[in-house]
Amino acid sequence: MTRSKNANDVSVRIKSESSLLPSQQLSDEILAARVVQGDSAALEALYDRHASIVLGVLLKVIGDRALAEDALQETFWRVWKSASSYEPQRGSFTGWLFRIARNLAIDAHRRVNVRPQVLGNADDMDSLADRTPDPDKDVPEQAQADLRNRQVRSALAALPRVQRLVIEMAYFYGMTRQEIAEATGEALGTIHTRARLGLQKLREELDREDFEG
Amino acid sequence: MDKQIEELLPFYVLGALTDEEREQVETYLRAHPEARAQLDEMSKTVSALPYGTKPVEPARRTKNALMARIAVDERARAPKADQPFRRGVRGENIIRTFTLGIATLAIVWVMILNSQIGRLRSEISNLNNALIAQSNELQQINAKLPQTPLPETVTISLKGTDVRPQAQGQLIADPNSQSAVLVISGLAKLQPGKTYQVWLIDGGGPKSAGLLAVDANGQGVLIVTSELSIGSFQALGISVEPNGGSKQPTGDIVVLSDI
């Protein structure tokens, strides 16, 4: 019942918002609903908004630019083909999008077997300055993306390295807790503790940064 | 909360459990909905992780290839417009009678509000003209797209030859179809009087598949058409030819890939 009501709410919002605003000003969730209706302009708007962050994730995990670009295209192709399976009441669109990208990245990573890199290193930190701006992105959207990037990097940098490593091995490389324990030579209990404390600490740091996902 | 589930929960939101462990957590969550709050909080934290990676601007050709692939899919999804409209004779009579009644009322209405009707007719006429113009434009666009819906497409990578190693692209096609979308980048700007020509190659040699226009950035998109299905060809090539194209390749071959 609740789900049906939520779906109706979304439908009403689509009609009221999408008829008045250009794609760039619509929320991800509204754009996703328009993709379900076969609106390729909505898909393009979502691509322009999120492709660089998705490619960042793909490249970090896969380690090969050409393969990462292929996976990026496949990610948004899957958004196009299966947008109807996204349910706004179960979470944000970006959460759903990143899960698609992450799964593709992990599959590709297992094929090419690239060594994991840890986020928040100094060599990653200089990325914002040398990045070429995307002409398809509007300035406030770009500024918002840059702000989020700085906030999360700062929060991650505040984590003890061992906790950050466990989180990244699990999230970006899909390693199970047993695989992480084996790879790090630590006891399984230690890996559990690091994951739990790491996520708690990350939440605190994100709140301190006023991060809004 | 169950101690074991508490240990699994961080790895559940990180997406790093085995299938068996994931099922264990989901069973627990179904029985203990109060644990959802903790799960949602962790999920929110984890969803921030991608923002911590170094953003990378994708190559323009990735978006071009994606949108071309979507255009092909849209074409395949479009409903057929040539379904005949059928109705029975009895239905026609009812409609005629109804139309006559409406027409009589309309005449009375016209006598009373003649000036307003005239103005409305004028507006309708203008709208019809606009509609016809848009319809013509749509037909022109449709005529440039592949004529056969493509239910299943494949993407084939194309590479430049030693003459133009920077060239790369994709051919998006249903192998059983006679048309495909070619997206290419890294081609050089040609001198006046020259053009790029696309060739589909089989055992009988190269067959022209169209002339390719390239923009200032060396990128081009072409709807490739052939009398035979795309899957019957072994390779695709692009050569430099005099304006208007040639019957057989005569100039430098800048792209040549197996398909």
Tell me the CA distances in angstroms from A8 to A20, A95, A150, one per residue in order. 19, 22, 37
A52, A101, A196 ranked by CB distance to B55: nearest: A52
The answer to whether residues A44 and A79 touch, using CB atoms and an 8 Å cutoff, is no
pTM of the predicted structure, to 2 decimals: 0.56
A193, HSE (Cβ side, Cα atoms, 13 Å): 7
Q: Which of these, A101, A117, A78, A96, lies nearest to A28 by C-alpha position? A: A96
Please check whether residue B18 touches A, CB under 8 A: yes
Average pLDDT over residues B173-196: 85
CA dihedral B100→B105→B108→B110, nearest 10 degrees, is -90
Query: What length does chain B have?
Result: 259
Q: How far apart are CA B234 and CA A55, in angstroms?
A: 33
Residue B257 tokens, joined: 């890939």
Query: Is residue B135 predicted with pLDDT exceeding 60?
Result: yes
Least trusted range by pLDDT, from A16-20, A29-33, B113-117: A16-20
- Alpha-carbon gap: A213 to the closest alpha carbon of chain B (Å): 6
A192 vs B9: CA distance, rounded Å: 10
With a cut of 60, say whether residue A6 has pLDDT above it. Answer: no
Best-predicted range by mean pLDDT (A34-43, B117-126, B219-228)? A34-43
Task: Taking residues A166-181, report their average pLDDT.
Answer: 90
Residue-averaged pLDDT of chain B: 81
Q: Which of B7, B10, B55 sits opposite A149 (nearest CB)?
A: B55
Percent helix, strand, coil in chain B, to 5, is 45, 20, 30
| Structure confidence at residue A90 (pLDDT) | 78
Q: What mean pLDDT do residues B172-178 have?
A: 79
Q: SS3 string of chain A?
A: CHHHHHHHHHHHHHHHHHCCCCHHHCCHHHHHHHHHCCCHHHHHHHHHHHHHHHHHHHHHHHCCHHHHHHHHHHHHHHHHHHHHHCCHHHCCHHHHHHHHHHHHHHHHHHHHCCCCCCCCCHHHHCCCCCCCCCCCCCHHHHHHHHHHHHHHHHHHHCCCHHHHHHHHHHHCCCCCHHHHHHHHCCCHHHHHHHHHHHHHHHHHHHHHCCCCC
Structure tokens at A16: 């009221």
Nearest-Cα distance to chain A for B13, in Å, is 9
Check pLDDT > 80 for residue A37.
yes
pLDDT of B118 reads: 66
In degrees and rounded to multiples of 5, residue B157 shows phi and psi of -80, 140
Most confident of the following: A190-204, B4-18, B82-96: A190-204
pLDDT for B204: 85
Token digits of residue A173: 């490389």
Stretch B213-231: mean pLDDT:
82
Q: Residue B207 forms beta bridges with which residues?
A: B200
- Counted residue by residue, chain A has a size of 213
Taking the C-alpha atoms of residue B171 and residue A148, their distance in angstroms, rounded to an integer, is 37
CA A7, CA A121: separation in Å to the nearest integer? 42
Nearest to B42 among A59, A91, A199 (CB): A199
Residue labelled with tokens 């700062």 = A154
* A111 pLDDT above the threshold of 80: no
The Cα-based distances of B125 to B103, B122, B186 in angstroms read: 19, 5, 48
Work out the average pLDDT over B146-159. Answer: 65
- Residue B52 touches chain A, beta carbons under 8 Å: yes
CA angle B115, B118, B121 (to 5 degrees): 155
Residue A189 phi/psi, 5-degree rounding, is -60, -35
What pLDDT does B90 receive? 59
- Secondary structure of residue B96 in the 3-state scheme: helix
Residue of chain A whose alpha carbon sits nearest to that of B154: A74
Give the chain A residue nearest B77 (alpha carbons): A38
Assembly ipTM: 0.77
Q: Please, what's the largest Cα pairwise distance for chain A?
A: 57
